[in-house]
Amino acid sequence: MTKPLIVGALAFGLLLAGCSSSTTQPEQYSGFLGDYSQLKPATSASGAPVLRWTSPGLDLSRYDSVLVERPQFYPKPQPSAQVSQQTLDQIATYLQQTMQRELNGQMKVVQQPGANTLVLRSAISSVDVSPEGLKPYEVIPIALVVAAASTAAGTRDENTSIYVEMQALDAASNKVVAQVVRKGSGLQLENTSTQLSLKDLQPVLDVWAKDAHNFHP
């Protein structure tokens, strides 16, 4: 293979590696929901692509209260120098609080379920920090070499992503009435030495909570 073809193939491969789907892929399912076979592509109230299932005939008006359980991490994460356990705990706490804030008023937020309570249970299945994909102008031989060098040196911007799997349960019957799996992109980190903080993912968590408020079967 000639040198130009090698460079072209490398550029194409790096482009593919830099492209990420806006929805959770089947191989990324955590197992928290158990059955993913009924999930279908849908669009959230904010316009984001999600995977969703709702029980036929679901009527949210029959629920007068909601219990938002503290999100769990599933599977259990391994903290790193870039993603600390403290940050993970803050993310879980904030997601619960912002969901409660958005749903309060629409339904009474309770700490113990009653006969007409909807229980929201969620698992954060991944908090991911990965190198930024190549930009179009970088797919030329010289810029490609520079981009590859910056990635190897750890100076390239880092993308942040968070994945969640949620289910809503009827408290009286304990039956699942809705499920959603979604992915969100947070703010970029400057490089591999930059620690992830709650504020980097807050915008995503706020959108998720607003979507829960505006959810319609």
- The tokens for 120 are 């929201």
- What does the pLDDT look like over 62-84, one tens digit per residue? 999 999 999 999 999 889 989 99
Predicted pLDDT at 61: 93
Domain membership flag for residue 58: yes
Contacts of 190 (CB under 8 A, 6+ apart): 157, 158
Whether residue 185 lies inside any domain: the answer is yes
The Cα 51–Cα 38 span in angstroms is: 9
Summarised one tens digit per residue, pLDDT across range 157-205 is: 889 999 999 999 999 999 999 999 999 999 999 988 899 999 999 999 9
Is 148 domain-assigned? no
Mean pLDDT of 30-42: 96
Domain assignment present for 191? yes
Gap between the Cα atoms of 125 and 25, Å rounded: 12
Judge whether 152 lies within some domain: no
- Structural domain boundaries, residue 117: 22-131+157-213
In a domain, 147, yes or no: no
pLDDT of residue 3: 41
> Is residue 5 a part of any domain in this protein?
no
| 92-121 per-position pLDDT tens digit | 999 999 999 999 988 999 999 999 999 999
The set of residues, in sequence order, having a beta carbon less than 8 Å from that of 72 and lying 6+ positions away, is 92, 122, 123, 124
73, 77, 122, 76: which is closest to 97 by C-alpha?
122
Q: What is the 3-state secondary structure (H, E, C) of the chain?
A: CCHHHHHHHHHHHHHHHHCCCCCCCHHHCCCCCCCCCCCEEEECCCCCEEEEEECCCCCHHHCCEEEECCCEECCCCCCCCCCCHHHHHHHHHHHHHHHHHHHECCEEECCCCCCCEEEEEEEEEEEEEEECCCCHHHCCHHHHHHHHHHHHHCCCCEEEEEEEEEEEEECCCCCEEEEEEEEEECCCECCCCCCCCHHHHHHHHHHHHHHHHCCCC
Decide if 145 contacts 138 (C-beta within 8 A). no
Provide the number of structural domains found in the chain: 1
Give 156's pLDDT tier (boundaries 50, 70, 90).
Answer: low
Domain harbouring 74, CATH code: 3.40.50
Q: Is the pLDDT of residue 5 over 60?
A: no
The whole-model pTM stands at 0.80
Is 17 part of any domain? no
Task: Identify the bridge partners of residue 124 per DSSP, sorted by sequence position.
Answer: 73, 164
pLDDT over 80 at 9, yes or no: no
Residue type, 201: L
